[in-house]
Amino acid sequence: MLIAEIFDRCRALVDDTDLSTVAAWKAAHPGAKAIGCFPVYVPTELVHAAGMLPVGLVGGGGHIEMDHADSLVQSFVCSISRSTLELGMTGRFRNLDGLLFPSICDVARNLSGMCSRNFPALWVDYIHLPQNRASAGVVDYYRSELARVQVGLDVLAGRTTTFDALAASIQAFNQQRAVLRDLHAFRRSFPWLLSTEELHLLTNAGSVLDVAEHTNLLQETLNLLSMRKGKPKDRIRVLLEGAFCEQPPLELMKAIEEAGCWIVEDDLLLGRRWLATDVTLNGDPLRALAESYVRQDTVSSVRHERPRRRADSLVERAREARVDGVLLCSAKFCEPALFDQVLLRNALEQAGIPHLALEFEEKMGVFETPRTQVETFVESILFA
């Protein structure tokens, strides 16, 4: 397959809010079920090990009109929560059998309750991710939470997940994470050969594909990228932070890069890279998953951290990626991102790292203002 064909395929998968790919998977796996997983991080290995398809819920993008959800949710709530509800209220969850929500913010918590009430045909669970990583009992607690969720999934699937099945699923996701790491490393070194828009499409295609198929697609792309040719333009290197849950429109990413930036590091679709290193299998796979979550160094606004740790982590990442500036790009009304913004801006200020704050929402259609903001930011660095 040509690389352009891969991106076209990914775009078609991402744009399909009717989840017809999921319907096709279910048709090919009679009796198997599909579970929608809300961002940011959900241990999808549990869903996969139960013989089900974990489906990433990434909102409605710019594709759907909010005709129903606005009657239930206030307009000052983030787009992804409203569009997720709209997808369900317009029958687009018909190919799903359940929904899993992680404890990332009040909105996600309330959304899980609203889905329980409004979509009674769906199994809905809310996973309590541990917030206090320093507690002595954190791994034990999280293992028990994972076991609880696994039981619920098993009841829905009508089977019992064995340790071997879970270990195999963990291996499958380890492989996916490894290729994603390679793709991000490639973009960091050669951003003119792999745009952030393209990387996002590739990653997001995994929302509706089986993990093995997605890993193969990523690997094939990586092989083709090594043969891609292109001339670098004179742009600044930036880190984009704040879009860990709701995703900015692809046109915004494109506008940012066209305005003179190479996005070489970001927290887009962070859940797929939350476990930054492989989950080490050593006996009990549930414990391995729990330990991995607790020990991982992924710092985000949706996990409790000491304020200094959150700020220092961003500065460290910016320095590691050798960026010229940071774009604090958060979704409108995203409380976790906006709560952290002052903290992060102060830290960047102190570290002498130029930064710019941008705001987005799923259905924004005009990108001239952010483009001009970014262009001005770029010029202030290039011609300082």
Whether residue 55 contacts residue 21, with contact meaning beta carbons closer than 8 Å, is answered with no
Whether residue 51 contacts residue 155, with contact meaning beta carbons closer than 8 Å, is answered with no
Buried b / exposed e over 367-380, threshold 16 CB at 10 Å, is: beebbebbbebbee
**Single-letter amino acid code for the residue at 4:** A
**Single-letter amino acid code for the residue at 78:** C
- Tell me which residue of 202, 243, 240, 254 sits closest to 223, measured CA to CA: 202
User: Which residues in this chain contact other proteins in the complex, by CB under 8 A?
Assistant: 231-235, 258-260, 372, 375-376, 379, 382-383
Helix (H), strand (E) at residue 111 = helix 106-118
Q: Which is nearer to other proteins, 119 or 192 (CB)?
A: 192
Q: Which is nearer to other proteins, 293 or 367 (CB)?
A: 367
CA 182 to chain CA centroid, Å, is 17
Q: Which is nearer to other proteins, 234 or 297 (CB)?
A: 234
Shortest Å distance, C-beta 375 to other proteins = 6
Q: Which is nearer to other proteins, 297 or 368 (CB)?
A: 368
Whether residue 323 contacts residue 237, with contact meaning beta carbons closer than 8 Å, is answered with yes
CA-to-CA separations, 24 to 27, 57, 209, in angstroms, rounded: 5, 17, 10
Q: Which is nearer to other proteins, 214 or 235 (CB)?
A: 235
Shortest Å distance, C-beta 54 to other proteins = 39
Shortest Å distance, C-beta 316 to other proteins = 23
Q: Which is nearer to other proteins, 323 or 334 (CB)?
A: 323
Q: How far apart are CA 31 and CA 322, in angstroms?
A: 49
Shortest Å distance, C-beta 373 to other proteins = 11
Shortest Å distance, C-beta 372 to other proteins = 8
Shortest Å distance, C-beta 194 to other proteins = 16
Q: How far apart are CA 44 and CA 57, in angstroms?
A: 12
CA-to-CA separations, 46 to 28, 55, 130, 203, 307, in angstroms, rounded: 21, 13, 17, 20, 32
Q: Which is nearer to other proteins, 76 or 383 (CB)?
A: 383
Q: What is the DSSP string of 254-267?
A: HHHHHTTEEEEEE-
Shortest Å distance, C-beta 160 to other proteins = 57
Shortest Å distance, C-beta 221 to other proteins = 24
Q: Which is nearer to other proteins, 124 or 259 (CB)?
A: 259
Would you tell me the crossing angle of helices 138-157 and 285-295 to the nearest 10 degrees? 130
Specify the DSSP class assigned to residue 100.
E
Distance from the first to the final alpha carbon of the chain: 44
Q: Which is nearer to other proteins, 117 or 231 (CB)?
A: 231
Shortest Å distance, C-beta 184 to other proteins = 21
